Amino acid sequence: MLNNIAVLTSGGDAPGMNACVRAVVRMGISRGLRVFGVHRGYAGLIEGDIEPLTNRSVGGIMQRGGTFLQTARSLAFMQPEGRQQALGQLRVHGIEGLVVIGGNGSMAGALCLRDLGVAVVGVPASIDNDMYGTDVAIGVDTALNTQIETIDKIKDTASSHNRCFVVQVMGRRCGYLALVGGIISGAEISVIPERHVAKEDIARVLHKAHDLGKPHAIAVVAEGAEYSAAELAEYLTQADPGFEVRYTVLGHVQRGGAPSAADRLLATRLGVEAVNALAEGKTGVMVGVVRGAIHHADLAQVADRTRPVDLGEYGLADILAR
């Protein structure tokens, strides 16, 4: 019989993490559990930075970006001694089940705890959308919305000056945000880690936009791509695609902001599912959504792996930007 569970957020924050913590706490309490919050991810777990949460402690947080529990990337937890300390803290607090909300690295941490005998359930949260075991992670929708709003604004100024912009977006080693965000912002081309494209071809695509009479052109570049926005902008300036060239790096702006409706819903569904899985003994898994339905993936299948973007849509940007 489970009595006490805990929840932590780990790795890069993602909009919707708070909504997920709220769901875990309120679902847990409704099932008769005591729910603890661990501050600063695995770092806080090692240090025992743990407090009981109530329904009131998670009031008013659903609409807030970031994570009120705070998060960290803990080097100490990567060492066996650190993990033993974490295990000790779980025992001291009588915590019998743990929900870990985070990305690939966080799931690797959860897998380590599972291997030490901890009942753990993971919830995918990462703007990169590079996680196996789920079609979409918490935070992706909001990050995409921020991206397209920003590119819409860039287009206003780009059109006014007849410029092309290279816009660099996040995504670590995955091109999802650049590819999908490029398509839905009407970019001419997306440059992603999963596919080589010569600089000359990028210049050609932008030049074509100029020849078509467009007032601006946009190239979206993933941060993990073979060229950075700065490098590409420098090359394009020399290559002269017909437009003046500027570049913008979106950076951490993409991780902030109030979570979208889709992220609040996803986070809530997955938080509820994580508690139910723990309570029913279905642990050692990450709960996700595959083809619209809740899915449980073995942590070993998802931990520390990067899912590349589906290249099926790669040609779309070119067709639709004509």
* Active site residue ranges: 128
| Alpha-helix residue ranges (DSSP H) falling in the chain | 17-30, 41-47, 80-92, 104-115, 140-161, 176-184, 199-211, 229-239, 261-279, 299-302, 316-320
**Neighbour count for residue 63 (Cβ, 10 Å):** 11
For residue 210, the minimal CB distance to ligand F6P (Å) is: 31
User: Is residue 107 involved in binding ligand F6P (CB under 6 A)?
Assistant: no
Number of residues engaging ligand F6P in binding (CB under 6 A): 10
Of 111 and 250, the one with the shorter C-beta distance to ligand F6P is: 250
Please name the residues in contact with 305: beta carbons below 8 A apart, sequence gap of 6 or more. 104, 132
Tokens 């291997």 belong to: 115
Of 36 and 247, the one with the shorter C-beta distance to ligand F6P is: 247
Q: From 38-46, 158-166, 167-175, 191-199, give the range in contact with ligand F6P by CB under 6 A.
A: 167-175
Cα separation, 166 vs 188, in Å, equals 10
User: Is residue 255 involved in binding ligand F6P (CB under 6 A)?
Assistant: yes
> In terms of Cα–Cα distance, which of 103, 109, 169 is closest to 136?
103
For residue 77, the minimal CB distance to ligand F6P (Å) is: 15
Cα separation, 10 vs 225, in Å, equals 25
Query: Helix 140-161 and helix 261-279: axis angle, to 10°?
Result: 160
User: Is residue 170 involved in binding ligand F6P (CB under 6 A)?
Assistant: yes
User: Is residue 37 involved in binding ligand F6P (CB under 6 A)?
Assistant: no
- Give the x/- contact pattern for ligand F6P in 112-131, rule: CB under 6 A: --------------xxx---
User: Is residue 168 involved in binding ligand F6P (CB under 6 A)?
Assistant: no
For residue 227, the minimal CB distance to ligand F6P (Å) is: 16
Q: Work out whether strand 217-222 and strand 163-169 pair parallel, antiparallel, or are unpaired.
A: parallel
Amino acid at the residue 85: Q
For residue 130, the minimal CB distance to ligand F6P (Å) is: 8
Residues 178-237 that bind ligand F6P (CB under 6 A): 223
Q: Which residues bind ligand F6P (CB under 6 A)?
A: 12, 103, 126-128, 170-172, 223, 255
